[in-house]
Amino acid sequence: MQRSRWVGAGFLASALVLTSCTSGPAGVDAKQDSKAPLELWVRTTPGGPGEQGTLRVAAAFGKATGYKVEVTAIFDDFETKLQQRAAQKNLPDIVMNDVTQLGAMHSQGLLREIDLDKVKSTEQAVGQALDSGKSVDGKQFGLPYSAQASALLIRKDWREKLKLQVPQNWDDFAAMAEAFTTKDPDGDGKKNTFGLAAPLSTKRGYASWYFSNFLWAAGGDFITETGDGKYKPAMTTEQSVEAVQWFRSLGCKDKVIQPGAVTMETPPTNETFEAGRTGMFVVGPYLMPRFDESLGKDKYEVVPMPKGPKDATVLAEGGSIYLMAGSENRAGQDAFADFAISAEGQKTGMQGDTGFTVQLPVNKTVDISKVRPDPRWATYAEAYQNSGRYAPSIPNWTPVRQATAETINALMADCGLDIETKLGELDNQLAGILKEQGIAAP
């Protein structure tokens, strides 16, 4: 899960930001100065590898173009600080943040529309990545610089000890999870292992985020588009109910998910996998450097997600470049976006073992197998290209994710709850959210 999620600021703050960014000195008619330094905010831990990777990209951009970029890494209270700057009519020029932030930032007037004719590298962009930067009205307000998708990590040593094959479908997946739970794969003579690591906390919508990999593979959905940018709830469809029933059985019937999953975010869930308490984990490529060091790359493998009742669709995510409203150097904004998506910018962002800015390239001319010869990265790239699906760019995805996370969490925490009743209540809640955002189907 990308490290940023919109918290929601209420109508008063929204109105404040909208007014601040679209009128006056900070508006789209700000006096232009192509030599003005560009202020870039990136949502990452200050001093961490993400900041170091961004600094490398900014330095390479400056060397190639002559523009100056001042990088600021912010992790805590990122959105609050951005709104404070909006209220001051002094937004940063560029923000690098999660793709799911587009709807909220656009609806609050923080962004300017991007003219793709001025960002030539978009001609080389992967189609679905570029589409992820479009708002619900079809206009471009974000540009991808990094992509990722989910794949399945398996304790290879456990699988080989139990003489199991890589799972090809959900039946295989469930069977492996059961074997890892009941057949002592680590050989210590204790019942202390579990088949699947799953972060199912409600915080930041983790339960929904993780479950989406199974929901979509079953042909289900959280919400579905009906046309003209309108949506309707979809958690009571036959396919969605089937996905919930199957996933819930892993925890309630088979008991193959790690204990305490319903209170866990990703950090403690990660620890269960690297500590040898869980044997499978559905996750993106960003944890490989950590697990290589803590667990050993020979102990686990990366394989495509097994096929569900419909297909093997998995969650696709990534980082986007947002060109902020009110900049006095729009030419510099366009130039940075163009460089970041270019082959040179993408390769620069992929440098290093941990401090990279780009997970999977969004430029079609960049062959990941040549930049990163490790075949596990190719597995992730294929998952993204063939099976990856982004969450829809509605005005605010967070309340949809949060509402669905709370329901999935409740069903996993209390095995006595009726699935169809809870999903019916959820669809009613989703209908209200869609109506509030003005995108509910009639």
Mean pLDDT of the chain: 92
Q: Where are the domains of the chain?
A: 10-149+316-389, 151-314+396-436
Can you give the pLDDT at residue 2? Answer: 39
DSSP string, 157-178: HHHHHTT-PPP-BHHHHHHHHH
- CB within 8 A of 92, min separation 6: which ones? 39, 40, 41, 72, 82, 85, 324
The Cα–Cα gap between 312 and 302 comes to 15
Could you tell me if 73 and 305 are in contact, meaning their C-beta atoms sit under 8 angstroms apart? no
d(CA 220, CA 212): 9
Q: What is the mean pLDDT of residues 327-335?
A: 98
Q: Tell me: the pLDDT tens digits for 135-191?
A: 988 999 999 999 999 999 999 999 999 999 999 999 999 999 999 999 999 999 999
3-state DSSP assignment of residue 222: coil
Cβ partners under 8 Å of residue 121, min gap 6: 337, 338, 339, 341, 342, 345, 363
**Residue 374 in this model has a pLDDT that exceeds 50:** yes
Q: What tens digit of pLDDT does each residue of 243-299 get? A: 999 999 999 999 999 999 999 999 999 999 999 999 999 999 999 999 999 999 999
Q: Which of 98-102, 118-122, 155-159 has the lowest mean pLDDT?
A: 98-102
**Res. 223 pLDDT band, cuts 50 70 90:** very high
Model confidence, pTM? 0.89
Which fold would CATH assign to domain 151-314+396-436? D-Maltodextrin-Binding Protein; domain 2 (3.40.190)
Architecture of domain 10-149+316-389: 3-Layer(aba) Sandwich (3.40)
pLDDT given at position 266:
94
Q: How confident is the model at residue 11 (pLDDT cuts 50, 70, 90)?
A: very low
Query: What DSSP line would sit under 60-124, residue for residue?
Result: HHHHHH---EEEEEE-TTHHHHHHHHHHTT---SEEEEEGGGHHHHHHTT-B----GGG-GGGGG
* Predicted confidence (pLDDT) at residue 14 exceeds the cutoff of 60: no
Confidence band of 409 (pLDDT split at 50, 70, 90): very high
Do domains 10-149+316-389 and 151-314+396-436 share one topology? The answer is yes
Asked whether the predicted pLDDT for residue 228 surpasses 90, the reply is no
Does residue 16 register a pLDDT over 70? no
User: 44-88, pLDDT tens digit by residue?
Assistant: 999 988 899 999 999 999 999 999 999 999 988 999 999 999 999
